[in-house]
């Protein structure tokens, strides 16, 4: 969904006051450049179309498209994980307390927190990016690389940037448009910050667990190509450095980098899946068994601090949100 295609059919003469005069003045310069700039303008100041509800519109439609795809991914993994665990879709848990929780959810769901129940699929990309970032920050393991989301955001950022630079340098841009451009830029900076922090968090995890990542092909699909090659190169560099500085002068049997101690403690740093994680259950996640044999119910709308390894599948499904 490009900004330009989106608005191309729209008449370039809608919107605000300065438009008519600016385009008539610009006609002397050249028709093609005028229409281009007008189209750019109409992306900052969209016309009220039938499909554009206030506050939603563009982002919303996009979100729905994406939800189809992600829903099908979810379904697949539900098929995989769900069959072994035995929980159904939605709230029909085999333990039979779903109805209560549904009731509890809607009852306590006052007007205070309607948006809290918003489903992941209905969110715009920026909101989703926020969630993904929080999830990456809150967990010890490296999570799946949200390539589609990032690519989509980058495309949009790039288009916004082009639009801003073009309109900035155009002398016919009105005061109001300059103000809008400022808002657009403010938001771009916010989104860039989110993306940057997300990537940095992943980079931190990758460097911390680089050796483990290179040794474990089963988690390679969680990383983007660049991340994986960085992990490999980082491990190589680190090992070469250790070898040159210390290991080469040690006896042969002390030179290994992936040894284990007698008690099973390995030299390869792994994510500690026993570290607790904070989760908020967006849906009913059934029951988990704690090590003492006790059980804990993860009902919808509740928050828990629990070992990561006990809830990782709900986190990956998006049923549980990391806080």
Partner 1 sequence: MALPKTLQPGLTPDELTFLAEEETIDIVPLFSMTRVRLLSGIYGPFQPPSACRVPLWLALSLKRKRKCRIVPPEWLSVERLTAILKDEKENGEGFERLPKRFIETSKVLLDVAPDDLTQPSILRSLLKDLREVRQAKIRIGLQSEGVMRGSYLQVTNLTPLELSELKPFLVKAMTMMQGLEPRQEEEEEEDGGQPLGVEDEYGDE
**Per-residue contact flags (x/-) with partner 1 for residues 59 to 98, judged by CB under 8 A:** xx--------------------------------------
CA 224/CA 166 separation, integer angstroms: 33
Residue 133 C-beta: closest distance to partner 1, Å: 9
Residue 83 C-beta: closest distance to partner 1, Å: 21
- Determine the straight-line distance between the first and last CA of the chain, rounded to whole angstroms: 31
CA 8/CA 42 separation, integer angstroms: 9
In the region spanning residues 264 to 283, those forming contacts with partner 1, defined by CB under 8 A, are 264-266, 269-276, 278
Q: Which residues pair with 295 in a beta bridge?
A: 289
Residue 204 C-beta: closest distance to partner 1, Å: 4
Is 55 a binding residue for partner 1 by CB under 8 A? The answer is: yes
Is 239 a binding residue for partner 1 by CB under 8 A? The answer is: no
Within 10 Å of residue 19's Cβ, how many Cβ atoms? 19
List the one residue from 26, 150, 222, 323 that touches partner 1 (CB under 8 A): 323
Residue 220 C-beta: closest distance to partner 1, Å: 18
Location of structure tokens 């080469």: 248
In the region spanning residues 289 to 318, those forming contacts with partner 1, defined by CB under 8 A, are 290-292, 294, 296, 301-307, 309
In 3D space, the residue among 188, 223, 184, 185 whose CA is nearest the CA of residue 207 turns out to be: 223
- Residue closer to partner 1, measured from CB, 74 or 209: 209
**Candidates 55-63, 88-96, 219-227, 239-247; binding stretch for partner 1 (CB under 8 A):** 55-63
CA 238/CA 147 separation, integer angstroms: 27
Is 45 a binding residue for partner 1 by CB under 8 A? The answer is: yes
**Candidates 80-88, 179-187, 221-229, 251-259; binding stretch for partner 1 (CB under 8 A):** 179-187
CA 74/CA 33 separation, integer angstroms: 46
Is 113 a binding residue for partner 1 by CB under 8 A? The answer is: yes
Is 188 a binding residue for partner 1 by CB under 8 A? The answer is: yes
User: Which run of H or of E encompasses 183?
Assistant: helix 175-208
Is 173 a binding residue for partner 1 by CB under 8 A? The answer is: no
Q: How far is CA 7 from CA 42, 122, 131, 231, in A?
A: 7, 23, 30, 43
Binding-site size for partner 1 (CB under 8 A) equals 82
Please give the structure tokens belonging to residue 304. 């828990």
Please give the structure tokens belonging to residue 281. 């259950």
Q: Are 141 and 275 a contacting pair, CB within 8 Å?
A: no
């Amino acid at each position: 969904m490009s900004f330009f295609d989106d608005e191309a059919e729209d008449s370039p003469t809608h919107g605000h006051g300065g438009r008519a005069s600016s385009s008539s003045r610009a006609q002397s310069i050249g028709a093609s450049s005028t229409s281009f700039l007008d189209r750019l303008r109409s992306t900052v100041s969209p016309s009220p179309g039938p499909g554009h509800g206030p506050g939603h519109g563009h982002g919303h439609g996009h979100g729905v498209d994406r939800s189809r795809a992600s829903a099908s991914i979810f379904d697949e993994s539900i098929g995989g994980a769900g069959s072994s665990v035995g929980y159904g879709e939605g709230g029909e848990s085999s333990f039979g307390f779903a109805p209560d929780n549904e009731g509890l959810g809607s009852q306590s769901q006052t007007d205070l927190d309607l948006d809290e129940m918003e489903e992941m699929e209905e969110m715009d990309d920026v909101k989703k990016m926020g969630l993904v970032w929080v999830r990456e920050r809150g967990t010890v393991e490296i999570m799946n690389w949200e390539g589609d989301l990032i690519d989509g955001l980058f495309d949009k950022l790039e288009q916004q940037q082009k639009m801003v630079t073009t309109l900035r340098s155009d002398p016919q841009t009105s005061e109001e448009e300059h103000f809008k451009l400022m808002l657009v830029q403010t938001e771009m900076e916010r989104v860039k910050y989110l993306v940057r922090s997300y990537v940095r968090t992943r980079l931190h995890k990758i460097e911390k667990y680089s050796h483990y990542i290179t040794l474990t092909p089963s988690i390679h699909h969680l990383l983007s190509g660049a991340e994986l090659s960085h992990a490999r190169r980082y491990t190589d560099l680190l090992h070469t450095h250790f070898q040159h500085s210390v290991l080469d002068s040690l006896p042969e049997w002390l030179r290994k980098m992936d040894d284990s101690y007698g008690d099973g403690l390995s030299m390869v740093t792994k994510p500690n899946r026993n570290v607790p994680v904070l989760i908020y259950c967006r849906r009913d996640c059934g029951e988990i068994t704690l090590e003492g044999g006790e059980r804990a119910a993860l009902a919808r709308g509740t928050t828990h601090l629990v070992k990561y390894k006990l809830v990782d599948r709900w986190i990956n499904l998006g049923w549980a949100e990391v806080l």
